[in-house]
Amino acid sequence: GEPLFDRVAFIGIGLIGSSMARAIAKLGLAREIVCSARSQATCDKALELGLVARASTDAASVVADADLVVLCAPVGAYAAIAPVIGPRLRPGAIVTDVGSVKQAVIRDVAPYLPEGVHLVPGHPVAGTEHSGPEAGFAELFENRWCILTPPPGANEAAVDKVAEMWRRFGSNLEFMEASHHDKVLAITSHLPHLIAYTIVGTATDLEEDTKSEVIKFSAGGFRDFTRIAASDPVMWRDVFLNNREAVLEIIQRFNEDLTALQRAIRWGEGDKLEELFTRTRAIRRGVIDAKQA
Ligand X SMILES: NC(=O)c1ccc[n+]([C@@H]2O[C@H](COP(=O)([O-])OP(=O)(O)OC[C@H]3O[C@@H](n4cnc5c(N)ncnc54)[C@H](OP(=O)(O)O)[C@@H]3O)[C@@H](O)[C@H]2O)c1
Residue closer to ligand X (CB basis): 75 or 95: 75
Q: Which does 114 bind (CB under 5 to 8 A by kind): ligand X, a copy of itself, none?
A: none
**CA-CA distances (angstroms) from residue 151 to 110, 140, 284?**
10, 26, 33
Q: How many other CB atoms are found less than 10 A from the CB of residue 265?
A: 12
Q: Does 52 bind ligand X (CB under 6 A)?
A: no
**Rule CB under 6 A: which of 65-94 touch ligand X?**
72-75, 77, 80-81
Binding to a copy of itself in span 70-129, by CB under 8 A: 76, 100, 125-127, 129
Binds 12: which of ligand X, a copy of itself, none (CB < 5-8 Å by kind): ligand X
Q: Does 122 bind ligand X (CB under 6 A)?
A: no
Give 45 or 183: the residue with its C-beta nearer to a copy of itself: 183
Contact 179, 103 (CB under 8 A): yes
Q: How far apart are CA 281 and CA 278, in angstroms?
A: 6
**CB neighbourhood size of 233 (10 A):** 12
State in angstroms the smallest separation of the CB of 27 from ligand X: 19
Identify what 14 binds: a copy of itself, ligand X, none; CB under 5 to 8 Å per kind: ligand X
**Which amino acid appears at position 97 of this protein?**
D
Task: Say which amino acid occupies 95.
Answer: V
Residue 135 in contact with a copy of itself, rule: CB under 8 A:
no
Question: Is 79 within 8 Å of 105 (Cβ atoms)?
Answer: no
Shortest reach from residue 30's CB to ligand X, in Å = 18
> Using CB under 6 A, which residues numbered 210 to 249 contact ligand X?
232, 235, 239
Q: Which of 9, 16, 21, 93 binds ligand X (CB under 6 A)?
A: 16
38 forms part of the interface with ligand X (CB under 6 A):
yes
42 binds, among a copy of itself, ligand X, none (CB under 5 to 8 A by kind): ligand X
Site for a copy of itself in 174-233 (CB under 8 A): 174, 183-185, 187-206, 210-231, 233
Work out what residue 217 binds among a copy of itself, ligand X, none; the CB cut-off runs from 5 to 8 Å by kind: a copy of itself
Q: Taking CB under 6 A as the rule, does residue 17 contact ligand X?
A: yes
Task: Select from a copy of itself, ligand X, none the partner in contact with residue 93, using the beta carbon and a kind-dependent cut-off of 5 to 8 Å.
Answer: none
Which partner in a copy of itself, ligand X, none is near 75 (CB below 5 to 8 A by kind)?
Answer: ligand X
Q: Judged by CB, which is closer to ligand X: 87, or 92?
A: 87
Among 37, 55, 89, 163, binds ligand X (CB under 6 A): 37
User: By C-alpha distance, which of 250, 115, 255 is closest to 182?
Assistant: 250
